[in-house]
């Protein structure tokens, strides 16, 4: 299955992926309108530590602990993609507590959101990948589960 992978060596820490993600999932076709003057709630997050930067989004685990832990049955796995039904989510944060990648976070209304590989928006391919200026983020197949 194709997943989003990030190569630390090429991540510039520019945070464009976060903005592209927030824009792609805004439902708007104007980035300025979507993002100007307000905090953003991206589904990808740039991890930064001493000289290291890389972006993290949902790994779409083979054995997704978030899905198994969701009290509302809002998280599910369809064709390998971990989806969230935001209507069902009650904002209990159990998924935040269990995800070992820190890939889930609430939106501005406290409802959980996560990377769904831009399958639910009009982007066509993951916006973080498309917009990464250094191809640090790629969308590709990397073989079987460990």
Partner 1 sequence: MGVEFIYPEFEVIRNEARCITCRVCERQCANEVHSFSEARGMMISDESKCVNCQRCVSLCPTRALKIVKSDCVLRENANWQNDTIREIYKQASSGGVLLSSMGNPKPLPVYWDKILINASQVTNPPIDPLREPMETRVYLGKKPEKIQRTADGNLNCDLPPQIELSMPVMFSAMSYGSISYNAHASLARAASTLGILYNTGEGGLHEDFYRYGSHTIVQVASGRFGVHEDYLEAGAAIEIKMGQGAKPGIGGHLPGAKIVGDVSRTRMIPEGTDAISPAPHHDIYSIEDLRQLVYSLKEATAYQKPVIVKVAAVHNIAAIASGIARSGADIIAIDGFRGGTGAAPTRIRDNVGIPIELALAAVDQRLRDEGIRNNISLVVGGSIRCASDVVKAIALGADACYIATAAVLALGCHLCRTCHTGKCNWGIATQQPDLVKRLNPDIGSERLINLMTAWRHEIMELMGGMGINSIEALRGNRLMLRGVGLNEKELEILGISHAGE
Partner 2 sequence: MKQYVIVGNGVAAAGCIEGIRGVDPNSPITVISEEEHAVYCRPLISYYLEGKTDLDRMQYRPQDFYEKMKCRVMYGRKALHIRHDVQEVEVDDGTRLPYTELCLATGSAPFVPPFSGLDTVAEKYSFMTLDDALALERGIDPTSRVLIVGAGLIGLKCAEGIVERVASVTVCDLADRVLSSILDAECAALMQQHLEQHGITFYLNDSVDRFEGHTAHMKSGARVSFDVLVLAVGVRANTVLLKEIGGEVDRGIVVDERMKTSVPGIYAAGDCAEGLDIALGQKRVLAILPNGYMQGYTAGINMAGGSVVFDKAIPMNSIGFFGLHAMTAGVYEGEVYEEKTETSLKRLFTKDDLLKGFILIGCDERAGIYTSLIREKIPLSSVNFEILKISATTAAFSPEIRSKKFGGVV
15 is a contact residue toward partner 2 (CB under 8 A): no
With binding defined as CB under 8 A, does residue 94 bind partner 2?
yes
Q: What is the DSSP letter of 75?
A: E
End-to-end CA distance of the chain, in Å? Answer: 13
Among 28, 101, 134, 140, binds partner 1 (CB under 8 A): 134
Among 10, 41, 93, 139, interactor with partner 1 by CB under 8 A = 10
Q: Which does 109 bind (CB under 5 to 8 A by kind): partner 1, partner 2, none?
A: none
Q: Does 100 bind partner 2 (CB under 8 A)?
A: yes
**Judged by CB under 8 A, which stretch of 10-18, 68-76, 80-88, 109-117 contacts partner 1?**
10-18
> What phi, psi does 24 have (nearest 5°)?
-60, -35
Q: Which stretch binds partner 1 (CB under 8 A): 13-21, 65-73, 77-85, 98-106?
A: 13-21
């Amino acid at each position: 299955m194709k997943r989003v992978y990030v190569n630390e060596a090429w991540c510039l820490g520019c945070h464009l992926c976060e903005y592209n993600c927030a824009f792609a999932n805004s439902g708007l076709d104007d980035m300025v309108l979507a993002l100007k003057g307000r905090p953003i709630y991206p589904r990808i997050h740039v991890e930064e530590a001493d000289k290291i930067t890389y972006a993290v989004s949902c790994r779409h685990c083979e054995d997704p602990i978030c899905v198994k832990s969701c009290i509302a049955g809002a998280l599910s796995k369809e064709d390998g993609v971990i989806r969230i039904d935001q209507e069902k989510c009650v904002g209990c944060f159990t998924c935040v507590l269990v995800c070992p990648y820190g890939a889930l976070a609430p939106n501005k209304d406290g409802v959980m959101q996560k990377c769904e590989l831009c399958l639910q928006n009009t982007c066509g391919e993951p916006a973080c990948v498309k917009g990464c200026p250094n191809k640090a983020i790629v969308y590709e197949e990397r073989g079987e589960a460990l």
